[in-house]
Structure 1
């Protein structure tokens, strides 16, 4: 059975258009609240958000939904997505909710749900909630309506947690770090945590106004950070996305370091220290073949999954791995967190730099990636991948790449996009096959 509302990362869409309306948010609160009311204790949900203008509207609607079915609500304000997962578990809540569309523009929003264990919901839970969305809500008696309250120290609790993941014997003294918080959820916590660990911090993207989240800043638009790192003579740049569950690093020369390189560095460091579990890592089909070859050369394994950090996490839990992630910068370190955490991943990278005592450009270039090209084609409707012309273009591309590269084509789970990726030894061939498929999709 397919999911009607949930994508690869919760429910997401343009605000005030179905399904991302206040009415729908209220229904999600009622359905999820009913689904997770298990046991005879007082039921509780933790709700966080990023800095989007629509966050207030969605938060209010969710509170209305949850309280109407008898759940108490704890509001924690603007915090990173991993903070919601952490707080939901530490506060013994039945459910955690993050209101965010991650790296999308401000006019989009989304609802991410976490279970009492701090993990994103399973397919079964999402399907059960979707079924309840089709039914009349189970409203409680007036005497049983839930209460809501706000806690003021949520950001402090998360900062303390993030710092606890950094080795106690190390400090960041002497390191100049530029951090770009994307005018998003980490605009307070990330600069504070880095400063408290001793770094000289230059903060960007820390003046959210409700509409500037991810706007020319953050992990999906790092050009300003790259320039700032070079201009300031900084040792490193850190770019987070709107809800701070992903990270991209910039070295001292302004060169981007993606999630594949970060996973390689962490995996090798942890393996040397006897901390790496599963003798390898988990990554998606989008990760570069160079990463796989690097790990193999060091006696480590790479297990690939479908795109989406939830599938990475499933692979990690199934295989007993404690490091996994995506090329886009979602890094999951299950020793510390139940979901991707950009700040915690950055702190592990910083620990490697401090221990090595070498520039970021040397430490963070673990392998030479194979030529890889990813292009997105926006579509207005229908199923372009099912047309005969597109199928023929894909078949021809696979034939040309046979034994010399990889081809990955998929529909985005969060946006109306077809993503076309190819990689191989021959950069010109890679470019040609991607362009040919993109043209076929556009024509369809």
Structure 2
């Protein structure tokens, strides 16, 4: 039920609006229309059609300004089915990586989805009555949501899918990037994505401390290419001008000339440790479920979120099918249990993050990744999906270590660098 005002006519049919004014309310409200929130809404629409949900997004579009990519092997069939309505770019010939000592092609199919296509698909697939854009949420609680203009939305369940919030209770570093979409004057000649070109200069932009740098390249069509300059950095500082210059230099070195038609930036956490329960307690709202990166559902080292967002969306939808009367408190506990299990499962990757940021000298970080990508393609696939086997884990650590033993031992017992962003005026 929405108090004080009714939604615009474009967002609800007359019958639905009348029902809500009469006190029917919503079964579930999702706050945050990014990847996690949007996929949850789609999963509910397809798998739990009886659930009356509302997806609320602060921005003008769902998904923001991002590009999500994943390996085809990351998702089971149900996950692939959930993503099937979206316009995706898929490279079936595998992908390339390049390091100072070698270059190779791995055979796994790679997929990518732009936020513009994400938004367009949600708008086409979901009923307009279930969507609210350009809407600020002032507060969440177990019984609903209060909007910035004072309106009250009543709901049996609320799911918080807003952005990740840094916390001093967590430790780690940062993945800092700027990507540009180029429309080239002539065909660029690439047929496969370059997931990691680490032959580039490893010097970090001023203020980032030590960093591992690579360039990520996606051939979106015969004459369009996405180029992203990325750093695994000690500090969450993004110097957009420097990164734009480096992207332009990379394009020029490949002989690509053309026009920039899009740009995205990001500063993502690379988590190496911390007190997860304490970090979650900082943002927890009694009776409100937390999903997405805010709930800890990401890969600690790669910052990938898509496979986990898909898995969560399907799990919540299935729960509502099995238990249509599940309470908001029970749903919050369900998501919390999944988050804690995910944190435990990701312990090995957090240890590798500590090795990267605390055991390796900045100029040696490229050697850590070079060692990893020389391993088998299946091992790399499972690593990105967060499904490394025990033999995989032993193989990653086997052989001449790319970091000094003493530093590695100290990193294992370190509390890490607090994962927080200093407030600026």
* Smaller-chain TM-score bracket: under 0.3
Q: Tell me the TM-score normalised to structure 2 length.
A: 0.25
- Highest RCO, 1 vs 2 (Cα 8 Å, sep ≥ 6): 2
Higher relative strand content: 2
Q: Tell me the TM-score normalised to structure 1 length.
A: 0.24
